[in-house]
Structure 1
Amino acid sequence: MRRRRSCARLGGVALTLATLLAASSAGAQVASDPVETTEPAEIRVVGKPDPAGLLPDQRAPKAQSAISADFIVKQAPTLNAFQLVTLLPGANVASSDPYGLSTSSSLTLRGLGQDEIGVLMEGAPQNDIGYYYAYPSQFADPENLKRITLAQGSVDIDSPTLGGAGGLLSLTLDDPKARPQALADLSLGSYAARRGFFRIDSGTIGTTGLKAFLSYSNTRADNWRGAGYDTRQHVDAKLLDEWGAGNRASLALSYNDANSSSYPSPTLADWNAQGRGFNYDARYSEGNTNYWRLYRAPFRNLYASAPVHLVLNDRLALDTTTYLQFGYGNSPYGTQLTTTGNYLGTEKLAQPIALPGAVDGLATVLGNYTGDQMRTGNVSKLTLQAGRHKITAGLWFDYGTDRVTQSYISIDADGQPVDRWGYRAKAIRTADGRLLAYENQRTVTVTKGFFVADSIAVTPRLTVDAGFKGVDVLRNGRNYLPGPQDKVRKDSFAALPRAAIHYRLDDRQQLFANITTNFRTPNEFTLYNSYYGGELVAQGTNALKNEYSVSQEIGYRFIGEQLSASVTGFHYKFRNRQLATVIDQGGAQVNATLNAGGQTSYGIDAEIDYRPIAGVSLYLSGEYLHARIDDDLPVGADFLPTSGKRAVSSPTVQFGAGGTYDDGRVFGSIASKYIGRQYSSFMNDESIKGYATLDLSVGLHLAEWLDGKRTDLRVNAINVTDPHVLSGVQSVSTNAQDVIGRNGTVISGSAPAYYIGSGAAVMATLSRAF
């Protein structure tokens, strides 16, 4: 790999400072909750509650933003967690539908994709164990969220997540209420959208001290473009017990059952030719593989988390979180099969296959991409307060299985799949009874980690942290397709040191700096061979190097009665930067991971919240990002001249602006975000323009005019200006145009694909407490 020296620039100060700290016997940031981070006991809180809920007080020695229930409750109730954090610094959200129901969406932080961002809900990981993606439409309903925290640069040392160079998104559920009560929301909106939500709180149950809530929601909406519709049923529940001086145990459950549309992603040529008309077909005709019913994705997921905090004595505490997940779903597509000339892996099938509805040996079928996952794990830590030292030591264990199958299901004369779930028992078989599949594999992933940290209150104002985390990831798998590959295995270990410093200038002002390391082992599909037409089109390998990154931050934070602000400078250095994409191999669409070599990024994040009078809040955020590729990219026997090019999906600038008003009777909010130009190829020979979005809401508190019980009526206008834009990059390419490589060969271009920005929508919601 050709390399070019990079400039540390902005990160140099933070790197030097944090290295000196690590050389001393300093301590590390150890807690996910910023309240648990080391801070002198005598600190006074001088701020007052933020009515916008956009800039809650922070004391962690790192960049960290958050939104609270005060802000969430003013937004459209269908919005997912990605859409809710779009105003925060560094958050680049590409959403394909206004209501957040589709799985076609993405989040990048400081130019790093959602497979680089850890996601936790009640302390339990939400990322896919094999591919690292998280799907926000499956998360808890907004009415049940107490806070969403976004750490733009790093994960906490005790977070049970892999990767995380892009940061950490943490969702905290609301606690059950102390008194029995109920809440109902009814919503109607554009595109025949309708939603019902109902929650009941038990209150304290007798003398047990237990409290619980249970909620159910049901949502349906037509696709805002093209034919089709989305449905979603969701259940959240939480059981909580608190006793003694700080002991706490809870069980949180979240179940999601959805049938979502996957909007097609155009190339730039498709977009220029058809614009928003680039859709699946509304009607089925014989041989049509573009019919909308062939692209509806059903998924069912269950998440369970049981966090426990035990105060063992006045100096020692135990925190443990056990989690369990189940998920099954299908991401289907339309395709065609012939009765003869088929292959299973590299084996040519001698006997014809039976294809219902085949005409002249050809049939249109539903191609399935099913995932069947189970994941369980536990992360536990002991925290000892010993004088000035706060020492933490913990263990993490995670076990997950992932069965991935690309099979085929027949469809009837109207284009309706016989089975939309893609169950193997109902899939098309070979003449000798084997499953006809393009991909058929099972992977077991075992993660073991340990961490130790020390946090030292050097003075009442100065806290120094240092820590170390070791993580081992073992993947064992089997490829069930006939061919040269049977079992696969990859074992990776990473040593992840970190250090941080936090200095309190006074009761209002803070300084912080940190250095953090992260790694990510390649996605599981890189281990497996891919075959097409009996030929090997993608070689599975366990030789791909782990991505490794070192990041530094240095920042200033101000917390005042009317003004709160934060500014952070950051710097990243990557080795073996991994980027997931989709490539065409002999007509087959194959998942792939590109090793983009080295990358250097630096920039500034800032946010400010001004509260001039009671009930009014004004919020601004911004980011400047300089992200450059350090190396030429190997393609075949040649190299693309990518050194010095801008990183993909990394806008140089983005700005957010918002405001809220609430005088006890009338309330409203405004939120606008601008995202700058984004490149979609490593050669920077294709990009999408910058664009802006605008959301508005207005509402009335009706309690005083009725019976005194909470009754709110609000109207949310989403994407008011309705810009016709491409909102993000769905799949990157090495080069969009033909390029002459460093060694003189012609490297053919391939077109990136994009998300089409969602249209405008209006939703009215009546919320009533009982």
Structure 2
Amino acid sequence: MQRVTLLSLLTAGTAFVTMEGQCTAAYAASVSDVGRIKKTSVVKEKVPEELKVSTRRAQRGAMVTLSASALEKAVPGTNPLKVLAQLPGVMFQSDDPQGVDTWSAQLFMHGFMQNQIGTTLDGMPLGELVYYNYNGLNPVQAISSENVSRLDVSMGAGAESVASTNNLGGSIEYHSSDPKDKLGATVGQTFGSNSTFHTFVRMDSGRLNKTGTKFYVSYMRNDTAKWRGGGMQFMQQVNSKLVQPIGDHSQISAFFDYSDLDQINYQDYTLNMLHTLGYKVDNFYGTGPNSYANAYKAALAAQGLPGGSYPAGYNKLSDPADASYYAGATAIQDYFGGLNLDFQMADHVRWKSVVYGHGESSHLPWTNPYFSSPNGAPITETVQEPSIRRFGVTSAVTYDVAHNHISGGVWYENSKFIANSFGYQEPLLGQGSALDPLGNYSKLTPAYDLWGQTTNTNTFTAFVQDTYNPIHNLSLHFGFKSLLETSRVSQNYNLESFTGVSALASGVGLTTARAFLPHISGDWHFLRHHELFFDISENVHAYPLAGFKTGAAPFAVSQQAYDQSRSSLRPESDWVYSVGYRFTHPVVQASLYAYRANFKNRLQQITSGTIVNPVSSVLNVGGVTMNGVDAGLTLTPIRGLLLYNSVSYDHATYDTNIEQTGTTYYLHGQQVVAYPRFMYKSRLSYQWRSVEAHIDASYMSKRNLSYVGDTKVPAYWLANMGVDYRLDHDNSPFRYPGFLQKIIFSFNVYNLTNTKYISTMGENGYPMNGDYQSILLGAPRQYFGSVRAEF
């Protein structure tokens, strides 16, 4: 039976509304008084359980909550951020259908890039959502998607309580599921196109004693062959969580994650490559017995040496030398975890603290055809070997008094980021095997110490906020955040013949300090089914970090370039204003959301040259002004049927032109790179008894590749479909053992119409004008079948 459940849970000082079976346009009116729990009402309605996306008005403004039920509709192992992209104004891109290729995974929310969105897991900061992460880890490496209970998404720049230094455009808070109260297990298996093989096993202990101690341990493994080129993409992960209740209203919980990710990467494309050679070009690795010989000959040709040659058709390219290398890969190991303390100190006082730690080691190899090995081979395996070590603590107190919900807290983190790059010798042709891109480089001695930097960072934030309910249907929020972060960089290595500079940025430091970052919001349920809300906030992005030439960071350049840019460097900051309206009815749900962002001091990486050793600079491209609107409509005319449609329009343009090396680039008025001006999303689903089927479609308008807008990637349509068949003891047509609680069969098709499209953009930076090797292609049609059993 479908339902809309209104829970007036005021331990957080605002109404919490869970709406099963409705899209983000839906919002149920609720009323509550601070500090007291009112009655719970259950309204029975003919609403199909579809996205199971709930919308919550939290103390920091508009929030959308994506539940575990929504994640279950996707192919097992799918990146939750890919599911999040069903929401208006959100764009997720990846070159693989599950969205777990960390090189290509890319997220935008209302024009803000993924490194401008704060992210946490159970209150533990995950840092910036970028490939070259310096202060955290990708969420898919932090938790298996099957263990995610929900995602709380704030679209504004407020979220002052979130442990983040980069939430200019919003925040995403992951929450892990708790262990179950009863002993049990979950086993899931997925098979799919390109030898996809996804396995998930979880064991729940159940309550072990009278105090309620319980835990779970899970193992996940994901294997898939690349749909283009050779090689595999592999990941395995262990999660564990322990919960220990203390009395009736307090608890301690611990979460641990180990992840091992080994992926052969897809080769980056240019528009010229796409138009000349089509969709099948990739690196040479894994394409046959002559893969190393082909890469060797191409490297000879790139250096103009005798015996060199390119594959057929490559000479038609404007840059045949960079179309295919031998290989590129990603190998990352993470250990991540923390302890959550949640205590009720008095009737209206709670204290929550999180202590966490994280260690990461990586090997990121790319075969370089421009730099020879000491033995004379025209190829060197250049391997970036970044590592992260960080520890931190958050602590906050909440106090409910009269009509106020007051809270304040702090966050401190110490981190050390080492970014080194080494060169390993490859064999002469016919004198041995090429190095394994995913081999154990720690056992090898590098031929070259190419470059290296170490950055030490201390981060401190504090916040105070109050949500005030003057009347039962109105909440007003006031708060502010303070931030102080200091980073200092030193040089480890610099091989001038490789880097082309006499010194890397070293012996210098940067400080980001803001004492008062305000946030104001309000929420008014002025009539039954009708709601108005607004949100105003200011925030700042602490200076990002990156190794030499690997990101839009002030230290990722030479000492000379840093000295030249230092006077113009400012931390990115913005003011974001938003206003919204929602109408909720059992048959019709509608929403309208408008926003404006004034973005100052946007740092961007300007690149040219080869992608293995680019000519790269980091510039303050000035301000960006964004004006946008989302509109959503959901119809549920009959029981089990749901039709959802949304449109998003974002006019995000640069405020000024840029002058570089004596040339003026006319950015003023151009749409920001990589983000479409218009998006449309639609979903049709129908549930009949134990069977549910859905089909969704989305449209992305063209996107700018260059800053001046002279090169764009084309618009595209993408469609997906899926069917689920669920059996449990209540609806099974046949008898099965009592220990088997539930079994789910599912079938999914990705890219139903086999559309050829460009997915990720800017993974190697963006050019000022013209074409550049910094786009990735979306996967063709893929099929997946899954079975999941709960015991």
Say yes or no: TM over 0.5.
Answer: yes
- Letter of the structure 2 residue corresponding to residue 438 of structure 1: L
Q: Spell out, residue by residue over 1:474-516, the C-alpha distance to the aligned partner (whole angstroms, 9 max, x if none).
A: 0022112355554221111023111111112145332111111
Q: Which residue of 2 aligns with 1:746?
A: none
C-alpha separation in 2, matches of 1:182 and 1:656: 36
Q: Which residue of 1 aligns with 2:478?
A: 466
3-state SS in 2 of match to 1:270: helix
* Equivalent pairs, count: 703
C-alpha separation in 2, matches of 1:302 and 1:38: 43
Q: Which residue of 2 aligns with 1:347?
A: none
Contact kept? 1:576, 1:595, Cα under 8 Å: yes
Q: Spell out, residue by residue over 1:114-154, the C-alpha distance to the aligned partner (whole angstroms, 9 max, x if none).
A: 11111222221222496578635424222212112332223
Query: In the superposition, relative to structure 1, how do residues 198 and 553 fare at CA in structure 2: closer, same or farther (>3 Å)?
Result: same
Q: Which residue of 1 aligns with 2:707?
A: 682
Contact kept? 1:102, 1:261, Cα under 8 Å: no
Contact kept? 1:334, 1:365, Cα under 8 Å: yes
Contact kept? 1:63, 1:553, Cα under 8 Å: no
Query: In the superposition, relative to structure 1, how do residues 236 and 617 fare at CA in structure 2: closer, same or farther (>3 Å)?
Result: farther
Match of 2:197 among 191, 194, 199: 194
What aligned pairs does 1:317-336 form with structure 2 within 5 A after superposition? 317-336=350-369
Contact kept? 2:416, 2:455, Cα under 8 Å: yes
C-alpha separation in 2, matches of 1:46 and 1:506: 19
Q: CA deviation at 1:225?
A: 0.8
Contact kept? 1:293, 1:415, Cα under 8 Å: no
Match of 2:510 among 490, 499, 502: 490
What aligned pairs does 1:335-734 form with structure 2 within 5 A after superposition? 335-336=368-369, 355=374, 358=375, 361-412=376-427, 413=431, 415-417=433-435, 420=438, 423=441, 426-429=444-447, 436-481=448-493, 483-484=502-503, 486-494=506-514, 495-525=516-546, 526-528=553-555, 530=557, 542-543=566-567, 544-580=569-605, 582-584=607-609, 588-589=613-614, 592-703=617-728, 704=732, 705-707=734-736, 709-730=741-762, 731-734=764-767
Between 128-137 and 53-62, the greater mean CA deviation after superposition: 128-137
Q: CA deviation at 1:326?
A: 1.4
- What stretches of structure 1 of length at least 5 have no aligned partner? 1-28, 340-353, 430-435, 738-749
Query: In the superposition, relative to structure 1, how do residues 658 and 83 fare at CA in structure 2: closer, same or farther (>3 Å)?
Result: same
The RMSD of aligned alpha carbons is 3.0
Q: Spell out, residue by residue over 1:32-91, the C-alpha distance to the aligned partner (whole angstroms, 9 max, x if none).
A: 996799953558666668611343142236343332122211210021122111211111
3-state SS in 1 of match to 2:273: helix
Contact kept? 1:600, 1:628, Cα under 8 Å: yes
Query: In the superposition, relative to structure 1, how do residues 467 and 284 fare at CA in structure 2: closer, same or farther (>3 Å)?
Result: same
Give percent identity, aligned residues only.
21
Query: In the superposition, relative to structure 1, how do residues 616 and 78 fare at CA in structure 2: closer, same or farther (>3 Å)?
Result: same
3-state SS in 2 of match to 1:263: coil
- Letter of the structure 2 residue corresponding to residue 463 of structure 1: S
C-alpha separation in 2, matches of 1:78 and 1:417: 30
Match of 1:150 among 138, 149, 153: 153
C-alpha separation in 1, matches of 2:120 and 2:676: 26
Q: Spell out, residue by residue over 1:245-290, the C-alpha distance to the aligned partner (whole angstroms, 9 max, x if none).
A: 4323211222211111221121111111122122111211135568
Q: Which residue of 1 aligns with 2:336?
A: 303
- Letter of the structure 2 residue corresponding to residue 75 of structure 1: A
Q: Spell out, residue by residue over 1:638-664, the C-alpha distance to the aligned partner (whole angstroms, 9 max, x if none).
A: 432221222212211111112333334
The alignment's TM-score, normalised by the length of structure 2, stands at: 0.83
Q: CA deviation at 1:337?
A: 7.2
Contact kept? 1:522, 1:578, Cα under 8 Å: no
3-state SS in 2 of match to 1:83: helix
- What stretches of structure 2 of length at least 5 have no aligned partner? 1-10, 19-29, 300-322, 495-501, 547-552
C-alpha separation in 1, matches of 2:397 and 2:214: 26
C-alpha separation in 2, matches of 1:506 and 1:732: 49
Contact kept? 2:13, 2:404, Cα under 8 Å: no
Contact kept? 2:14, 2:57, Cα under 8 Å: no
- Letter of the structure 1 residue corresponding to residue 758 of structure 2: L
- Letter of the structure 1 residue corresponding to residue 747 of structure 2: V
Between 709-718 and 661-670, the greater mean CA deviation after superposition: 661-670
Q: Spell out, residue by residue over 1:668-721, the C-alpha distance to the aligned partner (whole angstroms, 9 max, x if none).
A: 222222111111222111111111211111122244134263111111111111
Contact kept? 1:679, 1:688, Cα under 8 Å: yes
C-alpha separation in 1, matches of 2:407 and 2:83: 33
C-alpha separation in 2, matches of 1:69 and 1:585: 42
Q: Which residue of 2 aligns with 1:767?
A: 788
C-alpha separation in 1, matches of 2:509 and 2:419: 16
Q: CA deviation at 1:396?
A: 0.9
What aligned pairs does 1:90-101 form with structure 2 within 5 A after superposition? 90-101=89-100
3-state SS in 2 of match to 1:269: helix
3-state SS in 1 of match to 2:112: coil
Q: CA deviation at 1:581?
A: 5.4
Q: Which residue of 1 aligns with 2:265?
A: 262
Query: In the superposition, relative to structure 1, how do residues 184 and 318 fare at CA in structure 2: closer, same or farther (>3 Å)?
Result: same
Q: Which has the higher contact order (CA 8 A, sep 6+)?
A: 1
- Letter of the structure 2 residue corresponding to residue 194 of structure 1: F
Between 671-680 and 416-425, the greater mean CA deviation after superposition: 416-425
Between 570-579 and 241-250, the greater mean CA deviation after superposition: 241-250
Query: In the superposition, relative to structure 1, how do residues 466 and 529 fare at CA in structure 2: closer, same or farther (>3 Å)?
Result: closer
Q: CA deviation at 1:414?
A: 5.6
Q: Which residue of 1 aligns with 2:292?
A: 284
Between 667-676 and 329-338, the greater mean CA deviation after superposition: 329-338
Contact kept? 1:463, 1:502, Cα under 8 Å: yes
Query: In the superposition, relative to structure 1, how do residues 402 and 586 fare at CA in structure 2: closer, same or farther (>3 Å)?
Result: closer
Q: CA deviation at 1:471?
A: 0.3
Query: In the superposition, relative to structure 1, how do residues 377 and 195 fare at CA in structure 2: closer, same or farther (>3 Å)?
Result: same
Alignment of 1:211 with 2:214, yes or no, is yes
Contact kept? 1:94, 1:106, Cα under 8 Å: yes
Query: In the superposition, relative to structure 1, how do residues 292 and 336 fare at CA in structure 2: closer, same or farther (>3 Å)?
Result: closer
Query: In the superposition, relative to structure 1, how do residues 617 and 586 fare at CA in structure 2: closer, same or farther (>3 Å)?
Result: closer
Contact kept? 1:101, 1:260, Cα under 8 Å: no
Match of 1:40 among 33, 36, 53: 33
Contact kept? 1:667, 1:698, Cα under 8 Å: yes
- Letter of the structure 1 residue corresponding to residue 492 of structure 2: Y
The alignment's TM-score, normalised by the length of structure 1, stands at: 0.85
Q: CA deviation at 1:295?
A: 1.1
Q: Spell out, residue by residue over 1:325-352, the C-alpha distance to the aligned partner (whole angstroms, 9 max, x if none).
A: 111112210015767xxxxxxxxxxxxx
C-alpha separation in 2, matches of 1:45 and 1:557: 21
- Letter of the structure 1 residue corresponding to residue 210 of structure 2: T
C-alpha separation in 1, matches of 2:15 and 2:511: 31
- Letter of the structure 2 residue corresponding to residue 55 of structure 1: V
Alignment of 1:112 with 2:137, yes or no, is no
